[in-house]
Amino acid sequence: MSRLRNDKGFTLVELMVVIIIIGILAAIGYQKFGGAIKQSRCAGAQTAVGEAKTAMDLYLTKNPSASAVTVSDLITAGYFDSADAGSYVPTLAFANGGAVSFTSTTSDGKTFIMSGTHDAINKKVNWAAPSGTCN
């Protein structure tokens, strides 16, 4: 009896080699694009804090006698749109004539902080360099 041979298809070794190559490429791609995702989250937090900083400056220009300011005040006055900031809406710590800081936190726990000192005499905030784990 003669045996019929079917040489169609791939061997198990060939399939294993292809799967290993795909796994290596996926691991490289994940590392490369995983960093880009983290950078985009930090960029979102930085943008939200930058917009809030500008809103604070505008608010103090129009309301020079303000002794306490909240993010809600900035939204109500129309200087800051929380919908644009998305999940990065910053928190605000404000002391009249003292420290001012905006802090925004990303979903992976990174922070971006913009702080300064409120100059009650000149009715403005002197902003310092940003800090936090996004820098």
Report the C-alpha gap between 85 and 71 in whole angstroms: 12
Tell me how long the chain is.
Answer: 135
The predicted pLDDT at position 87 comes to 79
Both tokens assigned to 102: 């905006």
The Cα–Cα gap between 56 and 80 comes to 9
Q: What is the pLDDT of residue 3?
A: 60
Q: What is the mean pLDDT of the chain?
A: 84
Cβ proximity of 121 and 98 under 8 Å: no
Q: Is the pLDDT confidence value at 2 over 60?
A: no
- Residues 65 and 120: their CA atoms lie apart, in Å, by 8
Q: Evaluate whether 71 touches 57 at the Cβ level (below 8 Å).
A: no
